[in-house]
Amino acid sequence: MTTDSGAGRLDLPGTPIFDGDTSRRGLRMNKLFMSLRDAGNRERFAADEAAYCRGFGLTAEQEKAVLDRDWQAMIDLGGSIFYVYKLAMMDGRSMQYLGGVFTGMGEDDFLAAMRAGGRRDG
Amino acid sequence: MAEVIWGLATSHVPSIGAAMDRGKAEDPNWKALFDGYAPARAWLAEHTPDVAIVVYNDHANGIDLDFVPTFGLGTAERYEVADEGFGRRPVPDVIGDPELSFHLVQSLVDDHFDLTVFQELAVDHGFTVPLSVWTADPGDAWPCPVIPLLVNVIQYPQPTAARCYELGRALGRAIRSYPKDITVGVLGTGGMSHQLAGSRAGFINPDFDSMWMEAIETDPARLAAMSREELIRQAGSEGIELIMWLVMRGAMDDRVTKVHSDYFVPASNTAAGIALFDNRAPSA
């Protein structure tokens, strides 16, 4: 991560931490995701995604991540998984699909690993 | 005075609600989960309280990042079921109990828990799925009025496990100080181990979950002593939701009687747990 807020910051491998710095960086993008709960907003987003992103004041990096559906980049740029998931749902993507992306396993192998009891550390 | 008669801990994974809403409870991928609910549902159907309190977290549906209350309590007469972006769940809106809610707010604030008051709140799957775990087919209405108690588990820093347990103890005192002779059920929701994002996504820790399931009954103080970091390391970044079980447990007596528990992997990307405790003194 690019920022550091000192005391108490957690650093666990492979584990995004949605702390204050992250939330501040991602606020505009997360607000965009939140807006997608509304059908009218989903239509406006679909009609011109880039314009919709600019309307919410996303950074150029965030806008690119959204337009490219770069899910890992959205998380890295301050997205909360619960907010990012709203865009994924709009695209018909499941949490298992996202798990396949984040782990590099692909959806089918990720789902198989979950059905086999889930993944372990190490 | 009011009395807590039972506590129910349960996961709130949205796909559990979706499986029920789409009639998939008998599907091979889900059947064992719902079979595991059956004994708890049967007992609960015989022990309907006058009011229930659901300790839960919102997932960017009823509230967003503009306001992040660490703890909040609903005081509304009615709570609408939220549309999370794919249409609202086909379940009834929730009838509240403003009189008890305001009593709880008064008592909790006097007890030094300065929580946020929601006079209007749409409730999402974090709230409605536990109600569905309790009552599979509510028809036109849930079994009783229900009060939401919100805990922030999404944006760091979440309240500590110890603080959640203390809130539960204060909630128990608040309930017992209510002048009406009513019965109350308390639901603690979320968990068990899971992680949704990062290269560690899909993480499940059955040993930790087993320890938690045992200790929530017999030694909740041990769980309340766990740090945020330890919880995330052992239960995954979203498994920290388990701190909401401690609010429920704190509202109950030191000694409780387990009615039923079960554990199932996976509900979506999550280890799903259920634990039901009777809070009444064992009959002689």
Q: Which residue of A has its CA nearest to B203?
A: A119
Q: How many CB pairs under 8 A join A and B?
A: 132
Q: Which residues of B touch A (CB under 8 A)?
A: 15, 29, 59-61, 64-66, 83-86, 154-157, 193-206, 228-229, 232-233, 236-238, 265-266, 268-269, 271
Rounded Cα–Cα distance for residues B218 and B220 (Å): 6
Domain boundaries, chain B: 3-278
Q: What is the CATH number of the domain that holds A63?
A: 1.10.700.10
- Catalytic annotation present for B125: yes
Share of chain A above pLDDT 70, in %: 92
- Point out which residues pair with B2 in neighbouring strands: none
> Nearest CA of chain A to the CA of B58: how many Å?
10
What are the phi and psi torsion angles at B167 (to 5°)? -60, -40
Rounded Cα–Cα distance for residues A23 and A4 (Å): 13
pTM comes to 0.96
What are the phi and psi torsion angles at B173 (to 5°)? -65, -40
For residue A69, is it within any domain? yes
ipTM of the complex as predicted: 0.94
pLDDT score of A8: 57
Residue B56, SS3 per DSSP: strand
Task: Please say if the pLDDT value at position A83 is more than 50.
Answer: yes
Q: Considering chain A, what is the average pLDDT of its residues?
A: 93
- Domain count of the fold of chain A: 2
Chain B hits for A78, CB-CB cut-off 8 Å, are none
How far is Cα of residue A118 from the mean position of the Cα atoms in its chain?
21
Please tell me whether residues A96 and A38 are part of one structural domain: no
Domain B3-278 has CATH 3.20.20.70: no
Q: Mutual orientation of helices B228-235 and B206-218 as an angle, nearest 10°?
A: 130
Please tell me whether residues A30 and A84 are part of one structural domain: yes
pLDDT score of B86: 78
Q: Which residue of B has its CA nearest to A23?
A: B155
- Catalytic annotation present for B12: no
For residue A99, is it within any domain? yes
Please tell me whether residues A117 and A66 are part of one structural domain: no
* Segments forming the whole domain that contains residue A110: 92-122
Please tell me whether residues A51 and A100 are part of one structural domain: no
pLDDT score of A2: 41
Chain A hits for B206, CB-CB cut-off 8 Å, are 117-118
Please tell me whether residues A79 and A32 are part of one structural domain: yes
Please tell me whether residues A82 and A106 are part of one structural domain: no
Please tell me whether residues A62 and A108 are part of one structural domain: no
Please tell me whether residues A50 and A66 are part of one structural domain: yes
Residues (pLDDT < 70) of chain B are 284
Cβ within 8 Å of residue B137, ≥6 positions away: none
Query: Which of A15, A85, A95 has the CB atom closest to B237's CB atom?
Result: A15
Please tell me whether residues A41 and A96 are part of one structural domain: no
Please tell me whether residues A24 and A84 are part of one structural domain: yes
For residue A56, is it within any domain? yes
pLDDT score of B246: 98
Query: Which of A36, A80, A99 has the CB atom closest to B85's CB atom?
Result: A36
Please tell me whether residues A54 and A111 are part of one structural domain: no
For residue A32, is it within any domain? yes
pLDDT score of B166: 98
For residue A33, is it within any domain? yes
For residue A15, is it within any domain? no
Please tell me whether residues A82 and A111 are part of one structural domain: no
For residue A43, is it within any domain? yes
Q: Which residue of A has its CA nearest to B228?
A: A10
Would you call B268 and A120 a contact, using CB atoms and an 8 Å cutoff?
Answer: no
Would you call A12 and B232 a contact, using CB atoms and an 8 Å cutoff?
Answer: yes
> Which one-letter DSSP state was computed for residue B242?
G
Using one digit for the tens of pLDDT, what is the confidence trace for A29-73? 999 999 999 999 999 999 999 999 999 999 999 999 999 999 999
Look at residues B178, B185, B251, B241 and name the one whose alpha carbon lies nearest to residue B209: B241
The helices-and-strands tally (H runs, E runs) of chain A is 8, 0
- Give the residue carrying structure tokens 């347990």: B165
